[in-house]
Structure 1
Amino acid sequence: MDERKALDAKASGLMIVLCMIWGLQQVILKMAAPDISPLMQIALRSGLAVILLLPLLWLDKNSQLFNRQNLKAGGLVAVLFSLEFFLLAQALNLTSASHAVVLLYTAPIFVALGLHWKLPSERLSVLQWSGIAIAFMGIVVTFIRPNQGPTTVLEQQMLWGDLLALAAAIAWAATTITVRLSSLAQAAVTQTLFYQLAGSFVLLFSLAVFLGQSTIHFTPLVFGSLAFHTLIVSFASFLVWFWLLRNYLASRLGVFSFLTPLFGLAFGVWLLNETVELNFVVGSALVLFGIVVVSLQGWLRK
């Protein structure tokens, strides 16, 4: 495997833009949920994005889309990617977009842990281990319920939604680790994206139909959500993300990931009028600080 680079100005700028987009996507999914389920939105955006991706695959003369090694890794990545967004879609049915986006973006912590055991260039230092400990302490704090009375049905639903969002973060981390450690690390970013999008469309669309979450009421918000998620999120942002992942150290890319939940919180409060509990704010701050400590190690050492 070739050496990845530390972050430069171009990568940093791209990560900030990606964080804004990814922080907004859960809020848009939640906004359109009364007319189309989050699961169906994600399935349709994946299918539509595949159509946009096909010309890029056709133009790539070096494409090895059906290489046996790539197909095996691509199948695993497709399943993990689908699992991530299935869990996220169910989480958004139960908890707030603000909660979901913060817990989903604990993924860099799990990526750093996974790559530590496999790649010498991604080994964690003592400082980074302390950052991981802080982040996990923050996760625990976010799940503490300040209400001393009996747990209400709504609180129970939010708790399950939060757990599903955390599970989605682990699935996302597993996807990233699989890409880094498989033949897809050297494959074109369009190929990796194709495996993810095509696989998630088939799997998530089938699940949406099976679970009775396929009903659509066509409204301007639904069309706007599908356009945003197809063109911006599933197509453009994922292409940029995999390009970054192929050229830069994965753990270093997390240096700006703390911005995504901040954007998500802000958009959730602004657009959905969500309220955020004090314990969740404190826990989120600990999580974000832990991610910064883990991801900033390379810069501090430099």
Structure 2
Amino acid sequence: MSARLDLDAKAISLMVVLCAIWGLQQVVLKATADDIAPIMQIGLRSGVAALLVGLVMWWRKEPMNLRDGTLRPGVAVALLFGVEFLLVAEGLRHTSASHMVVFLYTAPMFAALGLHWKLPAERLGAVQWLGIVLAFGGIAYAFLGRSTASSALPGNALWGDFLGLLGGVAWAATTVVVRCSSLSRAPATQTLLYQLIGAFVLLLAGAFLTGQARFNPTPQVWASLAFHSVVVSFASFLMWFWLLRHYLASPLGVFSFLTPLFGIVFGAWLLSEPIEPSFLLGAIPVLVGIVLVSGGGWLMQQWARKLRANETVKS
């Protein structure tokens, strides 16, 4: 395969669109929660998306080989992916969509720590450690600096935020398993299919066991299911994998901070969710930390290149 490319206008545009889609998904789940519980909706969308991915694999003649060494890690990522969205679905019952997307997208920090421990090639540099310190400081402030009495959110919003943070840990664990197992060499569609099947089974089971299997087929619910199944769980992930195959991963990762930013804006705009000063002050270092952890090495390379260019001009 040819060398991966630096970001161009096409890649940047696609990343902005992806981050907007991912930031909107929690808002749409919250907006339709009265007619279909988030746990039920995520389960159904995962099943539909699994069928679509299966059709793509059939069209590409990509076999789902269960004897290629991917079965055990595949089951692990299926369980982790399902647990992640169980936590997201339950968390959205208690906290706002904007809070959920920020705490869920702490996953890059937890993934970086896990990969630092498991893979010598993924050792963290000084910039990444700075990003982790900033992010965890922001998380602590968002939790501990909140004035419960003056908050416009429900009294159990802190529990929902904590579930979102645990969802980020589960997402990070999924990343570590993929990177450290035979799944790292498997087709992206195969890994995605494992995850979607796991979410479909676990979340539908959870919906029926907890009495959250209600389904009121309003036009808004059908539109939400179409958005989540086709756009979020199918098209956006395939687009993301395509970008990873053609462009450098580090600069793509820098854009991940846009997702929680879009989530905050969409939550305030579409759901009239309050943005408390303490949460916002905590979210800012979290977003900066995401940038430093995801693309710290690339940012330092760009800075060094700029310094060398300036020295060349001066000489």
TM-score greater than 0.5 by the shorter chain: yes
Q: Percent identity?
A: 54
Cα distance in 1 between the residues matched to 2:151 and 2:11? 45
Matching residue of 1:194: 193
Asked if the contact 2:153/2:274 (under 8 Å) is kept, the reply is: no
Cα distance in 2 between the residues matched to 1:112 and 1:251? 12
Residue identity matched to 1:125 = G
Call closer, same or farther: CA 1:251–1:4 in 2, change over 3 Å: farther
* Structure 1, unaligned runs of 5 or more: none
Residue identity matched to 1:166 = L
Cα distance in 1 between the residues matched to 2:30 and 2:152? 22
Call closer, same or farther: CA 1:269–1:196 in 2, change over 3 Å: same
Tell me the alpha carbon deviations over residues 147-205 of structure 1, each in whole angstroms, 9 at most, x when there is no partner: 376999932x1000000000000111111121111111111111111111112111110
Structure 1 residues 95-134: aligned runs within 5 Å: 95-134=95-134
Q: Which moved more, 1:94-103 or 1:251-260?
A: 251-260
Structure 1 residues 65-76: aligned runs within 5 Å: 65-76=65-76
What is the CA distance between 1:286 and its match in structure 2?
A: 0.8
Matching residue of 1:58: 58
Cα distance in 2 between the residues matched to 1:67 and 1:244? 28
Matching residue of 2:19: 19
Secondary structure class of the residue paired with 2:92: helix
Tell me the alpha carbon deviations over residues 14-46 of structure 1, each in whole angstroms, 9 at most, x when there is no partner: 332211100000000000000000000000001
Confirm or deny that 1:147 pairs with 2:155. no
Asked if the contact 1:26/1:264 (under 8 Å) is kept, the reply is: yes
Matching residue of 1:228: 227
TM value normalised by structure 2: 0.88
Cα distance in 2 between the residues matched to 1:4 and 1:167? 36
Matching residue of 2:49: 49
TM value normalised by structure 1: 0.91
Residue identity matched to 1:268 = G
Secondary structure class of the residue paired with 1:34: coil
Secondary structure class of the residue paired with 1:45: helix
Cα distance in 1 between the residues matched to 2:85 and 2:17? 21
Call closer, same or farther: CA 1:123–1:246 in 2, change over 3 Å: farther
Matching residue of 2:273: 274
Call closer, same or farther: CA 1:185–1:3 in 2, change over 3 Å: farther
Matching residue of 1:289: 288
Cα distance in 1 between the residues matched to 2:241 and 2:212? 30
Cα distance in 1 between the residues matched to 2:107 and 2:146? 26
Cα distance in 2 between the residues matched to 1:64 and 1:247? 24
> Larger radius of gyration, structure 1 or 2?
2
What is the CA distance between 1:56 and its match in structure 2?
A: 1.4
Tell me the alpha carbon deviations over residues 90-130 of structure 1, each in whole angstroms, 9 at most, x when there is no partner: 01000000100111111111111112223344221112111
Secondary structure class of the residue paired with 1:258: helix
Call closer, same or farther: CA 1:244–1:109 in 2, change over 3 Å: farther
Matching residue of 2:312: none
Call closer, same or farther: CA 1:111–1:253 in 2, change over 3 Å: farther
Residue identity matched to 2:56 = L
Secondary structure class of the residue paired with 1:143: helix
Cα distance in 2 between the residues matched to 1:149 and 1:162? 17
What is the CA distance between 1:54 and its match in structure 2?
A: 2.0
Q: Which moved more, 1:11-20 or 1:160-169?
A: 11-20
What is the CA distance between 1:13 and its match in structure 2?
A: 3.6
RMSD: 2.4
* Structure 2, unaligned runs of 5 or more: 303-315
Cα distance in 2 between the residues matched to 1:88 and 1:143? 17
